[in-house]
Amino acid sequence: MMKRRNFLVATASGLAVFADTQHVFARALAQTPLPGLPGGEDRCLVLINLYGGNDGLNCVVPHGNDRYYQLRPALAIARNDVLAIDAQVGLNPQMRSFKSLYDKGVVAIVQGVGYPDPDHSHFRSTEIWQTAAPDRYEHTGWLGRYFDEAEPARENLFKGVAVSRVLPEALISNRTDIPAIPALNEYAMVADRDASARRAFSAAAHDRSVPFQSPYLAHVMEIEGNAQRSSEELPKLVAGYTTKASYPATGLGRSLALAAQIIGSNLGTKAIYVEHGSFDTHVSQRTTQDQLLLEFSNAVAAFYEDLAAHGNDRRVLTLTFSEFGRRIEENGNHGTDHGEASPLFMIGGGVKGGLYGAPPDLNDTNMGNVRFAVDFRSVYATVLERWLGRPSAPVLKGQFAQLPIIA
């Protein structure tokens, strides 16, 4: 049974008004850590979708593997250029700032992450990663189900935030309204022309004594209230946050700057989604991917610099994912086609830095693609149990082995 919020107060006229909006909102903000989230404390998860299919082999480079150089005569990254982690693997040379984070011990690299019977469609594989359901169709996302299960206070409108135009599947839930906020100035009701319009809107949007019944009426009213309140309040709530961090002037830089601002404003936010891409490098891969990895590396470094300056770096775990890696052998256009398993990164928080999973086996492949060694749901289970402090089985609809990554 869905719990309807109690801030709608019926008045004598039959209209519901925002009588106690300020009060309820203030109460929600005071709830840090949120109730009902044992172990979660004031932790936040930041999820970065490297969409388009990030080529794992030119990101975490198997420079000790001759087969890599045989299969990628045009695309391989020269041994001398690789930012070596050990004799076998290293990072793309554009990822210097990210390598510094790795050297500080706050980056875990999980190699060979994927799932059984991999799908090569961007669309379907993205959906699989976001819904954590390779073998069925779920209309809720894995973080959406986390919110449904954790039931953080409903009146907190910013318990999850997608820094995107459209709510990603990962955050779609049955019971929880998560805002998609592409940028502060875009999350606004352009109708906020004057006080009398706002007042009339509030009244109209909460007209409970309408001459009809509808099973959806209460839901519509709740969402209309959420939309108005959250868009009005957000700019004020984050206004006090300032930063000296030097974010790159890129989409990801701006997204992570907003994430740091939301986290630093203590809104009780448990999960933030951002995206970066497109990594779909069928043609001229080096130019495109190197640039994207440079932007990623600098943006993430600035993000943790910003978080650290406000004492928030230990509160924030960042997890990257991409719908698939790419074919081991390069194609005829200096690019690579859709592949399967690839590495992902976990940064900050209580991460024990280092290499996890298994380096790609370039000889025993699945029709030319890297076989998976770690099921991505094991990564999610680790994040849910060890970072967010929630049982993972109800969210993932099954038990998955956890990785010893988070202290």
Please, what is the Cα angle at 124 between 123 and 126, to 5 degrees?
Answer: 70
Residue ranges in 147-176 that form contacts with another protein under rule CB under 8 A? 157, 162, 165-167, 169, 172, 174
CB nearer to another protein: pick between 76 and 172: 172
- The single residue among 80, 116, 137, 249 that binds another protein, judged by CB under 8 A, is 137
Q: Which residues pair with 357 in a beta bridge?
A: 111
Supply the minimum distance, in Å, between the C-beta of residue 11 and another protein.
Answer: 8
- Alpha-helix residue ranges (DSSP H) falling in 158-284: 195-205, 217-237, 251-264
Supply the minimum distance, in Å, between the C-beta of residue 130 and another protein.
Answer: 10
CB nearer to another protein: pick between 216 and 364: 216
Sequence-ordered list of residues with C-beta below 8 angstroms from that of 315, at least 6 positions apart, any chain: 42, 43, 44, 263, 307, 349
Structure tokens at 176: 């929880």
| Amino acid residing at 362 | L
Supply the minimum distance, in Å, between the C-beta of residue 148 and another protein.
Answer: 9
299, 252 contact by CB (below 8 A) = yes
- The single residue among 30, 73, 80, 211 that binds another protein, judged by CB under 8 A, is 211
- Binding of another protein by 233 (CB under 8 A): no
Supply the minimum distance, in Å, between the C-beta of residue 164 and another protein.
Answer: 9
Supply the minimum distance, in Å, between the C-beta of residue 216 and another protein.
Answer: 5
Residue ranges in 185-204 that form contacts with another protein under rule CB under 8 A? 187-191, 193, 196-197, 199-201, 203-204
Upstream peptide bond of 33 is cis (omega within 30 degrees of 0): yes
- Binding of another protein by 15 (CB under 8 A): yes
Structure tokens at 92: 């793309």
Residue ranges in 339-378 that form contacts with another protein under rule CB under 8 A? none
Only one of the segments 37-45, 51-59, 136-144, 315-323 lies at the binding site for another protein (rule: CB under 8 A); that segment is 136-144
Only one of the segments 26-34, 184-192, 247-255, 398-406 lies at the binding site for another protein (rule: CB under 8 A); that segment is 184-192
Helix (H) or strand (E) holding 26: helix 21-30
Number of residues in contact with another protein under rule CB under 8 A: 60
Please, what is the Cα angle at 360 between 355 and 363, to 5 degrees?
Answer: 155
| Among the listed residues 281, 304, 303, the one whose alpha carbon sits nearest the alpha carbon of residue 292 | 281
- The single residue among 149, 224, 233, 337 that binds another protein, judged by CB under 8 A, is 224
- Binding of another protein by 116 (CB under 8 A): no
Only one of the segments 63-71, 134-142, 302-310, 329-337 lies at the binding site for another protein (rule: CB under 8 A); that segment is 134-142
Cα-trace Rg, the chain: 23
CB nearer to another protein: pick between 78 and 223: 223
| Among the listed residues 44, 43, 46, 80, the one whose alpha carbon sits nearest the alpha carbon of residue 299 | 46
Only one of the segments 8-16, 44-52, 73-81, 241-249 lies at the binding site for another protein (rule: CB under 8 A); that segment is 8-16
Question: Which of 115-124's residues contact partners 24+ apart within 8 Å by CB, and which partners?
Answer: 115/372, 115/375, 115/376, 115/377, 116/372, 116/375, 118/324, 118/340, 118/341, 118/366, 118/369, 118/372, 120/324, 120/338, 120/339, 120/340, 121/338, 122/51, 122/52, 122/53, 122/280, 122/323, 122/338
Binding site for another protein (CB under 8 A): 1-2, 13-15, 123-124, 127, 137, 139-140, 157, 162, 165-167, 169, 172, 174, 177-181, 187-191, 193, 196-197, 199-201, 203-221, 223-224, 226-227, 230-231
